Amino acid sequence: MSFSGHHVQKASKRPFPLESLLMPQVPRSNYLHFQEEKQRLQLKKFLLHRMFLVAKIPAHTDKKDIAEYYEQVFQSILKHHLGEMVTGLLLIYPTSILHILESSNGTLFRILLDYLDRERNENEFLIQGMKIIVVSHNIPTRLFMQWHVSVIKVPVMYLDDVTQSQSLEEVITEFLTQTHKLGLHLFKTVKVGTKGPGDNLHQVAPELLLPEQIIKYLCKSEEFLDPATFIQMYNNPIHVTLDSEVVWPAPTRF
């Protein structure tokens, strides 16, 4: 009997196989699940796009008028496109602007339409000669958590004009590289709900600011589309009817 009791006591220390399977497991995840959860929490109801714009402004333009104009446009569009907020960055130089916008395709389309309407109906609109540098479609997430405006009050001095010695491809590469670095800097340093870098960005991160001559150079480049041409291409049908499809009599197919 003592041997049997000792055997039972020893066996009781071993967990029953079924019992070990039923024990609560620590939830584990991976990077894919993290990204999927991040996308779900954003409650994305539309595809997200990012647009890079450059334009010229008259030297006498009040910089506050530019910011107020875009804020009014955003509020007007938001009434028809609920939940499709606009984020990005507006850099106002002495005679030009650099504008990065993130939103749905319909919202970006309406922003361009409003610009064209103002340009046609106003004698001297405060934003002139706009060019679309690049549009990134279906981006996975926003680089900017809100819409920032920064006035570059103090001109930044540069040793030489890179647009005189570099090709267009090199200028565009520098343009995209610097804007991406600046966006990452703001993403890491600016808290959600704050006003952003304000008008001292040239003091906080002067090495990340693009020279204004690059923006002026891009405004003059004929390789980039203006909003009117871009919208015309946007509205054109994708399907093109070939001449062989409209000849008469119709060709016989076997």
Band the pLDDT of 157: cuts 50, 70, 90.
Answer: low
* Cα distance between residue 34 and residue 249, in whole Å: 60
Task: Please report how many Cα atoms fall inside a 13 Å half-sphere around the Cα of residue 132, on the Cβ side.
Answer: 19
Residue with tokens 């093109």: 240
CA 39 to chain centre: 16
The kind and range of the H/E element at 128 are: strand 128-136
What pLDDT shows up at residue 233?
A: 84
pLDDT for 134 equals 94
Mean residue pLDDT of the chain comes to 79
* Percent of residues, the chain, with pLDDT higher than 70: 68
The pLDDT tens digits of the residues spanning 119-149 come to 998 888 999 999 999 999 989 889 998 899 9
Within its chain, how far is the Cα of 193 from the centroid? 18
Question: Cβ–Cβ contacts within 10 Å for residue 119, how many?
Answer: 17
Using pLDDT thresholds of 50, 70 and 90, give the confidence band for residue 225: very high
The CB-based long-range contact list for 37-41 (8 Å cut-off, 24+ gap) reads 38/141, 39/140, 39/141
Instruction: Provide the Cα torsion 201, 155, 111, 114; round to 10°.
Output: 140
- Rounded to two decimals, what is the model's pTM? 0.73
Nearest to 181 by CA among 202, 198, 205, 203: 205
pLDDT-based confidence at residue 17 (cuts at 50, 70, 90): low
Give CA–CA dist 131/229, Å, rounded.
Answer: 10
Which comes out higher in pLDDT, residue 235 or 36? 235
pLDDT of 159:
47
What would the mean pLDDT of 226-230 be, rounded to a whole number? 94
pLDDT computed for residue 203 by the predictor: 75
Q: pLDDT-derived band of residue 178, with 50, 70 and 90 as boundaries?
A: very high
d(CA 235, CA 229): 10
Q: Residue 76 corresponds to which tokens in the numbers above? A: 């007007």
The phi and psi torsions of 82 (rounded to 5 degrees) equal -65, 135
Q: Mean of the pLDDT values across residues 77-91?
A: 85
Integer angstrom CA distances of residue 94 from 124, 153, 195, 212: 17, 7, 21, 9
Do the strands 49-56 and 147-151 form a parallel or antiparallel pair, or are they unpaired? unpaired
Domain spanning 45-232, CATH class: alpha beta
- Token output for 45: 């109801």
